[in-house]
Chain A
Amino acid sequence: MGPRLPLMLKDAGLTAFVAAALGIFIVGFRTVDQGGGKGLGFDYHLVDLVVAVFVIFIGRLGLSMAANGLRWPAIVLGVAMIVAGASPMKLPSGFLHWFVALGGVLLVIRAIWPWASDAMGVAARTPSGVALGKAGTKWFGWLLLAAAVLMPFTPLADQKTMDLGVLILTYVMLGWGLNIVVGLAGLLDLGYVAFYAVGAYAYALLSTHYGLGFWTVLPLAGMMAALFGIVLGFPVLRLRGDYLAIVTLGFGEIIRLVLLNWFDLTNGPAGIGSIPGPTLFGAVFAETPPPGKQTVSEMLGIAFDGNHRLIFLYYIILGLALITNLFTQRMRRLPVGRAWEALREDETACQALGINPTNTKLTAFAIGAMFAGFAGSFFAAKQRFISPESFVFIESAIILAIVVLGGMGSQIGVVLAAVLLIGLPEWFRDLGSYRMLAFGLAMVLIMVFKPRGLISHREPSIRLHPAGSGGGG
């Protein structure tokens, strides 16, 4: 193992010590109400802590070994961790099983990563590999689309999967909308959820107070959100970078606080309930029709099934997301789209070329807000109940994370990141409150292995020489 082993052991020991020092207050003991007027007492979890620190020691040792080229010992350690995690051996808590096993999986991945990336690099350089890569990037989007369209007809489509599909597609749409603002125009918007809230409340209020239907309100909600985008954007878009981020963060909070406190209009924290769902040619999705309405199952002459509503919602959000995508792709190839990207690259140079930075930013901001408005009114129609709880800062952060991790400006990247960041925590729901670890883990892994996002390739918006002619060298 060579002379580096003592160093590695020392390093692993230090890491374990830091973990122990941090963990003793977080994991080591917690205060519990002893009941019976005895006040608070300590509940010790020292065994958990010891096991976790030991696993961290082994894991760190394995990582150092892998980094120093000792791949086989690292793989052995990783496999041992997986076995220990998956074995029926009694660990103090169920979470520790996951922790140990996941740690082992990561360690094994880290150990074989150099081989895998070498092999992939070699394969990608062979002519067939190059052709495959090109075909892959060309067809991957279409394959994803086909999978999304056909998903409700597969046996996989139980209620849980469909729910998850609707959720993921909502975030894909929000991601695509924010991608215009952050990915293309380079405006760091931390308050995007505000426009989502505007769209949701626009539909909730107009439908419950004035009886307007989903399809009538949808464009109105988009316009209203775009208007908010312009009103909020106009005074602040002359700020750059971090300053803009702080102000948009503030606006996001202001909208939420207004929703929370304008009791007469929004019903405050109690929210707005019994929002009608979307209709199909005027027919509603329900077992028994409300007075004067027809149900979809009556109209189509099929038996009522609770899943129909979900499938309908799924296709609505799929359609809305695709519209967002098509619109964005089209805008990117127009002068205004190129000006957005130019503004992201260098605002000063844009100004020197006679481009009005404020107007250009405003269009990006307003269009991004419009799509959030569409998504918001869909959300209200799907949930049938909304309250300010749904529009907190963490939502903006998640949407931003999807855009950044997907690769700024990449449309497919947003889809992949949404599946990873929204799908993973849902699949790991069994982990209970630890499931957000899966969220964090997905983020960290993407940033370690793909620091510029999942898809960092940028396709030019216009070419002088046709693609693949090699004229560019």
Chain B
Amino acid sequence: MTAPPSAGPLIEVEHLTMRFGGLVAIDDVSFTARSQAITAVIGPNGAGKTTVFNCITGFYKPTIGRLTLRSAGREFLLERMRGHEIGQKARVARTFQNIRLFSGMTVLENLMVAQHNKLMRASGWSLLGLVGAAGFQRAEAASVELARLWLERIGLVADADRPAGELPYGAQRRLEIARAMCTEPVLLCLDEPAAGLNPRESAELNQLLVSIRDRDGIGVLLIEHDMSVVMNISDHIVVLDYGRKIAEGAPVAVRNDPAVIRAYLGTDEEALDA
């Protein structure tokens, strides 16, 4: 299952700048993320982490900068692609800070919607599907099988036919990750997946993310505040503060970086102001 580690980075973010009117949300940020690795983007509130994600996943068009994704010998310039093409062609999947499941639909249906493009082709853009062609039925069965596989990995097989909105919070978080994985991405962007989880759920999440890195061999980009998650599983950490990159490196190096400590704990004067 695991591909040999590619020589270059999976995604290369170069000189990314995003301005909203006069506000500079991200200022000249560059970093890279590799396949088969978990890259964490951390920083205090308002540092611009989610904005970076929104640029990568096509929800924002960056003001300046280049986002290059290399997979299977192809090169995608994400900043030039339309929103849905980033998921469809470049195979970048994401989750959201505030969970965005299709809450009225069942758990299984959520995972089926994630395989939309594959199934649309198999259903001949609905024409073959309408007449019940055998090829489409096989493709649908295969999609259900993939969904079942992911339900087993997140422990929700028994809940497959329940509306997604009825699940407990932690299960919804895991389901959103499984839904993103059902698009068979090469890069998975997770926006605060551990937010609101208790310590036990957080530990389960760590296992899930590590297994996604090791078994599925894809790149994971992670925004997280929960340091127990970040420090335990990250291979590489990028620290943002006020839209600028202030540090980058392995977890141990970042933890002891004076600039990072200053950003999180504040300097003496700032501590007094607060």
Contacts and interface: CB of A to CB of B under 8 A. Distances in A.
A350 B94 CA distance: 11
Interface residues of B, number: 52
B119 interface: yes
B104 interface: yes
B102 A342 contact: yes
Interface stretch (A129-137, A308-316, A461-469): A461-469
A353 B59 CA distance: 12
Interface string B84-95: 111111010110
Nearest to A460: B106
Given A335-B112, A339-B116, A462-B112, A354 B183 contact: yes
B120 interface: yes
Interface string B55-82: 0011100000000000000000000000
Contacts of B180: 352-353
B158 A352 contact: no
A354 B106 contact: no
Contact of B113 (A331, A353, A460): A353
B144 A462 contact: yes
A348 interface: yes
A471 B113 contact: no
Interface string A344-362: 0110111111111100000
B119 A345 contact: no
B134 to A, nearest CB: 15
Given A339-B116, A350-B113, 9 more contacts: A334-B130, A335-B119, A339-B120, A351-B87, A462-B144, A464-B147, A464-B151, A471-B158, A471-B160
Interface of A: 327, 330-331, 334-336, 338-339, 341-342, 345-346, 348-357, 363, 458, 460-465, 471-473
27 contacts: A330-B130, A331-B130, A334-B129, A335-B126, A335-B129, A345-B101, A345-B102, A345-B103, A346-B102, A349-B96, A349-B100, A351-B83, A352-B93, A352-B94, A352-B96, A353-B179, A353-B183, A354-B117, A355-B113, A355-B117, A462-B112, A462-B144, A463-B106, A464-B147, A464-B148, A464-B151, A473-B159
Interface of B: 57-59, 83-89, 91, 93-94, 96, 100-106, 108-110, 112-117, 119-120, 123, 125-126, 129-130, 140, 144, 147-148, 151, 157-163, 179-180, 183
